[in-house]
């Protein structure tokens, strides 16, 4: 009995030893394939603040400044909070910002002397904060919330030593579209790393390919208009000054536009106005054909010639119609002034007919026309198919330039 138990213990220990050996070999193989980052030195681990939680796989070593020594780039989570999930008892996921710092290990340059006979140079570590940082010039932000993607410029080729001129970091808050973009470049020992930081709560795009071959020269941010039902955004474009990490907003490029591009046939009237002004045309949705209008205009719409829709149209402000008016008669069968061919009901049967003007509404926009800001009022009517299942289409009946405010 006791003999058997002893045998089982020994066998168990052997199995455990084999498992530990295999796991250690696995780790070694992964490291040889360029997998996990090298272990940071002890003195680096001692200087990382305890309340920073390093992101998996970080810190990583690379040469980020003007000396020949490698530095350590650390990505970490901080200020993590837990918001409860509604309607479930699941444990809330920690949520909070992601930051980064570069740890610069520098050898003490004091020459060996009478009082300093050690041949081992003392080392000290300077932590350069990238973001968050409290000092001016960095945008005072953070890198991302749920994830980040780090892009080195120039890209580091396999087998080449890691040497980087600029770091671009895309930040994510759920979802696949980045909502933050940060750029860092070594300046000097006193100033550390220069930074540019952009945030768009819908998305951020960079005009240049983000493979690191080119530095980022133009950035566009999409920030949602407050609680906007048509997913409209304030769109701002920033241009870079030469090689410096300084970007200026192109004030002549600001416009309101769709956060994620124009939908085929916007559901809300102000969406139709924006789609028209930005040069789009309606596309039939599957199972819901568009009425035969002149794009987003009814056939005989009256729009002043000075309003020329294009991708460059600048919309500075826009009102949501608070309500729509309802025609007591329930609308009328569309005329040829509204839909091409007019009363389709007589020729094609009631299921193909369109009802015009059941609802109507007004949208106001501030547009840049000929270099001036002009307020334009847009009258829209609804066009609905007579079949019960059809959805509403909004079309522009008339536009009027109100003043030169
Ligand atoms: Ca260096
Ligand atoms: Ca250094």
CA of 209 to the centre of ligand 2 (A): 28
Is the predicted pLDDT of residue 191 greater than 70, yes or no? yes
Model-wide pTM > 0.75: yes
C-alpha neighbours within 13 Å on the C-beta side of residue 72: 25
CA of 344 to the centre of ligand 1 (A): 74
User: If we measure between CA atoms, which residue out of 114, 391, 118, 137 comes closest to residue 265?
Assistant: 391
Alpha-carbon gap, residue 374 to 208, rounded angstroms: 34
- Note the pLDDT tens digit of each residue in 246-270: 999 999 999 999 999 999 999 999 9
Alpha-carbon gap, residue 220 to 238, rounded angstroms: 6
CA of 146 to the centre of ligand 1 (A): 29
Find the Cα–Cα–Cα–Cα dihedral 271, 272, 277, 283, rounded to 10°. Answer: 110
- Note the pLDDT tens digit of each residue in 193-234: 999 999 999 999 998 778 889 999 999 999 999 878 999 999
CA of 61 to the centre of ligand 2 (A): 11
Is the predicted pLDDT of residue 405 greater than 60, yes or no? no
Closest ligand to Cα 64 = 1
Beta bridge partners of 224: 233
The pLDDT value given to residue 9: 63
Least confident window among 40-49, 83-92, 278-287, 292-301: 40-49
The pLDDT value given to residue 60: 94
Least confident window among 3-17, 310-324, 359-373: 3-17
Are 352 and 343 spatial neighbours (Cβ–Cβ below 8 Å)? no
Are 316 and 367 spatial neighbours (Cβ–Cβ below 8 Å)? yes
Q: What is the largest CA-CA distance in the chain?
A: 109
- Note the pLDDT tens digit of each residue in 343-385: 555 445 444 688 999 999 999 999 999 999 999 999 999 999 8
Closest ligand to Cα 104 = 2
Alpha-carbon gap, residue 403 to 92, rounded angstroms: 53
Higher per-residue confidence, 248 vs 341: 248
Least confident window among 91-95, 222-226, 277-281: 91-95
Output the average pLDDT for the chain. Answer: 85
CA of 127 to the centre of ligand 1 (A): 13
From first CA to last CA, the distance across the chain in angstroms is 99
| pLDDT-based confidence at residue 126 (cuts at 50, 70, 90) | confident
Q: How many CB atoms lie within 10 A of CB 179?
A: 23
Least confident window among 129-143, 146-160, 191-205, 264-278: 129-143
Beta bridge partners of 171: 148, 180
Least confident window among 54-68, 253-267, 317-331, 335-349: 335-349
Higher per-residue confidence, 171 vs 110: 171
Across 9-13, 223-227, 296-300, which has the greatest mean pLDDT?
A: 296-300
Q: What is the mean pLDDT of residues 37-66?
A: 86
The pLDDT value given to residue 29: 37
CA of 162 to the centre of ligand 1 (A): 10
CA of 107 to the centre of ligand 1 (A): 12
CA of 184 to the centre of ligand 1 (A): 14
Least confident window among 142-146, 193-197, 216-220, 390-394: 390-394
Are 396 and 293 spatial neighbours (Cβ–Cβ below 8 Å)? no
Six token digits for residue 15: 């199995």
SS3 state of residue 373: strand
Q: What is the mean pLDDT of residues 60-72?
A: 94
User: If we measure between CA atoms, which residue out of 135, 201, 128, 136 comes closest to residue 167?
Assistant: 128
CA of 30 to the centre of ligand 2 (A): 28
Closest ligand to Cα 107 = 2
Is the predicted pLDDT of residue 8 greater than 70, yes or no? no
| pLDDT-based confidence at residue 1 (cuts at 50, 70, 90) | very low
Q: Tell me the backbone φ, ψ of residue 253, rounded to 5 degrees.
A: -110, -10
Q: What is the mean pLDDT of residues 161-185?
A: 96
| pLDDT-based confidence at residue 289 (cuts at 50, 70, 90) | confident
Percentage of the residues of the chain whose pLDDT score is greater than 70: 81
Find the Cα–Cα–Cα–Cα dihedral 87, 88, 91, 93, rounded to 10°. Answer: -50
Least confident window among 45-59, 100-114, 248-262: 100-114
User: If we measure between CA atoms, which residue out of 288, 228, 282 comes closest to residue 256?
Assistant: 228
CA of 167 to the centre of ligand 2 (A): 15
CA of 106 to the centre of ligand 1 (A): 9
The pLDDT value given to residue 210: 81
Least confident window among 135-149, 157-171, 202-216, 249-263: 135-149
User: If we measure between CA atoms, which residue out of 168, 177, 179 comes closest to residue 213?
Assistant: 168
Closest ligand to Cα 69 = 1
Is the predicted pLDDT of residue 2 greater than 80, yes or no? no
Beta bridge partners of 185: 166, 194
Percentage of the residues of the chain whose pLDDT score is greater than 90: 61
Is the predicted pLDDT of residue 34 greater than 50, yes or no? no
Six token digits for residue 153: 């410029």
């Amino acid at each position: 009995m006791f003999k058997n138990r002893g045998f089982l213990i020994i066998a168990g220990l052997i199995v455990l030893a084999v498992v530990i050996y295999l796991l250690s070999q696995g780790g070694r193989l992964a490291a040889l394939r360029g997998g996990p980052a090298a272990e940071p030195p002890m003195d680096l681990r001692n200087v990382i603040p305890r309340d920073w939680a390093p992101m998996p796989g970080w810190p990583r070593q690379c040469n980020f400044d003007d000396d020949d020594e490698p530095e350590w780039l650390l990505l970490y989570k901080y200020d993590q909070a837990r918001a409860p999930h509604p309607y479930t008892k699941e444990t809330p996921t920690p949520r909070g910002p992601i930051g980064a710092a570069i740890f610069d290990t520098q050898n003490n340059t004091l020459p060996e002397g009478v009082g300093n006979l050690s041949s081992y140079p003392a080392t000290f570590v300077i932590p350069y904060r990238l973001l968050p940082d409290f000092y001016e010039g960095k945008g005072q932000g953070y890198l991302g919330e749920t994830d980040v993607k780090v892009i080195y410029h120039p890209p580091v080729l396999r087998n080449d030593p890691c040497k980087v001129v600029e770091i671009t970091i895309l930040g994510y808050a759920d979802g696949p579209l980045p909502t933050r973009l940060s750029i860092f470049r070594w300046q000097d020992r006193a100033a550390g790393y220069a930074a540019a930081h952009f945030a768009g709560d819908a998305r951020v795009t960079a005009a240049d390919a983000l493979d690191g071959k080119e530095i980022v020269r133009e950035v566009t941010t999409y920030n949602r208009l407050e609680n906007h039902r048509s997913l409209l955004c304030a769109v701002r474009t920033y241009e870079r000054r030469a090689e410096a990490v300084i970007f200026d907003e192109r004030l002549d490029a600001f416009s309101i536009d769709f956060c994620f591009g124009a939908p085929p046939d916007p559901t809300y009237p102000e969406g139709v106005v924006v789609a028209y002004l930005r040069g789009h045309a309606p596309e039939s949705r599957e199972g819901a054909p568009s009425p035969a209008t002149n794009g987003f205009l009814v056939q005989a719409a009256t729009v002043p010639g000075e309003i020329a829709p294009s991708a460059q149209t600048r919309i500075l402000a826009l009102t949501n119609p608070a309500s729509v008016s309802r025609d007591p008669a329930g609308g009328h069968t569309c005329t040829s002034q509204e839909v091409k061919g007019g009363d389709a009901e007589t020729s094609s049967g009631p299921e193909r007919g369109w009802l015009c003007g059941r609802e109507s509404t007004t949208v106001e926009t501030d547009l840049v026309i000929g270099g001036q800001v002009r307020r334009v009022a847009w009258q829209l009517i609804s066009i609905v198919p007579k079949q019960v299942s059809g959805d509403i289409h909004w079309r522009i009946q008339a536009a009027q330039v109100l003043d030169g405010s």
